[in-house]
Structure 1
């Protein structure tokens, strides 16, 4: 029998997880089925790969030699899937994905329509939740992948940039700053602000850039700290303050003439949106196609 990629994948997971049972859970297989596949791989190579003791699982010398090749095989298979997805003419399936607030409520809705017309046989089930919840559901195999506003650092997950975004100054219609041709940070910080709550991705991006420009965020005149972008927008519309958020979230309000989007001289509140998924699972072709589609999009102001 030829060398089996599936068996290499199982071996790599067992070695990485240090447990047959953990690998079985990640692969949605029974533990005896995982054991049988490892035994088949050992029969193929004619060498013992793993030693199970009462305390822990250890690699043999042959197992340690095989491990980097198994890892490379998984990476090559993933790259192959991504490369060939671009040539797929008939993709179908149901994608279960999670997205953080800004992405799920303000970015994706405008992009899902055109994607659906291009790939009518792919259905998408979207959950809008925070990053911690997305990671929990990915780990529990309830989501294929997630879209978040900051890179995720987790030993079992891959985090990759998919889209770029830039926060802007948002002011109510008729605000004094709208008459200025050149807006400096020194001018902006004299006005009251409505901010997202501490710890939010939007707030972190804003504060990082302010510090880079030599301004301490605690010096802002923050009249309100609110837990959602929708609440911030409503407060700005009501004239309670100005803010710095993604222009994608105020597209409708801007078209209605309720707010205006402005640039602050020398300030660039740039950020990336990231995809996150389990290292141990290959994304289906439909998911790879969707992520490639997102990478081709430009978020317009």
Structure 2
């Protein structure tokens, strides 16, 4: 079984469709089917069942696919460690980042890092913090930048904190919120939990939600046009967002803060580029940037 075969199994397993897998791998579908048949002969077992709806892996096939994912990860990590032995800051840093941090804070951070280490390349994915945490745990990504409270057991570094606030086009009385139209947006479960807990501590009535949108940017535009208020982390506000703001506080008047964390596995520190990135983050913290 060759490296290419591991990639073939991984891709078919992810796509669940031979035609789509062939497109991802840049091979013809007949060539992909032929190689899969050869693997079935080599292991003397049926790897997939085919139907009009796609492919379904057998028990043996699923075991081989997971083995392929594991071997590809180990091969990538081995190459990275060997490359890192030159003690030069280079390579591809695999970075998973919370969507809102990626939108508002990540571009200048990466730009400044590349200015210092121009031989670094990035493989970036954005998503919910829970998804990013899972990818770092599985060692599919080197570093995660996640938001909110977390139960990460290995290395983590507090990158930033910011208030969570009520925003509206004009001044409003926070005591009147249950009667005012609220714009709800899809967000991290951890942030939604913070907002819900704050609401339940302060009101017995549910919020008067008149709009539900999938992005915080859309939500802000609705607020700017006077269509309602929203509750957002302050990091999502820019200088152009001229909005009335009220920071959320606990009953004893302490600000409710949202944390941003950098997380990584202990084993990642074997790589020079990971150590360089962590040192860079620490320098940002010291400078108060």
Under TM normalisation by the shorter chain, which class is it? 0.5 to 0.7
1:119 maps to which residue? Answer: 117
Question: Deviation at 1:284?
Answer: 2.6
Distance across 2 between alignment mates of 1:123 and 1:186: 50
User: In the alignment, is the contact (CA less than 8 A) between 2:129 and 2:188 conserved in 1?
Assistant: no
1:142 to 140, 143, 161: 140
**What is the aligned length?**
206
2:185 to 196, 201, 206: 196
User: In the alignment, is the contact (CA less than 8 A) between 2:183 and 2:228 conserved in 1?
Assistant: yes
User: Normalised by the size of structure 1, how large is the TM-score?
Assistant: 0.55
CA spacing shift, 1:217–1:137, aligned 2, 3 Å: farther
2:209 to 204, 215, 222: 222
Question: Deviation at 1:151?
Answer: 4.1
Distance across 2 between alignment mates of 1:280 and 1:289: 14
1:93 maps to which residue? Answer: 91
SS in 2 for 1:176: coil
SS in 2 for 1:103: helix
1:282 and 2:262 aligned: no
2:12 maps to which residue? Answer: none
1:28 and 2:74 aligned: yes
2:162 maps to which residue? Answer: 165
1:176 maps to which residue? Answer: 171
Distance across 2 between alignment mates of 1:189 and 1:218: 6
Q: Deviations over 1:29-76 (max 9, x none)?
A: 7xxxxxxxxxxxxxxxxxxxxxxxxxxxxxxxxxxxxxxxxxxxxxxx
1:294 and 2:281 aligned: yes
Structure 1's consecutive aligned runs of 4 or more residues displaced over 4 angstroms after TM superposition are: 24-27, 157-160, 187-190, 297-300
User: In the alignment, is the contact (CA less than 8 A) between 2:180 and 2:208 conserved in 1?
Assistant: yes
Question: Deviation at 1:199?
Answer: 5.7
Name structure 1 gaps, 5 residues minimum.
1-20, 30-87, 178-183
1:206 maps to which residue? Answer: 195
SS in 2 for 1:137: helix
1:15 maps to which residue? Answer: none
User: In the alignment, is the contact (CA less than 8 A) between 1:196 and 1:203 conserved in 2?
Assistant: no
Name structure 2 gaps, 5 residues minimum.
1-66, 76-86
Q: Deviations over 1:133-158 (max 9, x none)?
A: 32443345431111111344367x54
2:237 to 245, 250, 269: 250
User: Normalised by the size of structure 2, how large is the TM-score?
Assistant: 0.57
CA spacing shift, 1:101–1:109, aligned 2, 3 Å: same
Question: Deviation at 1:102?
Answer: 1.0
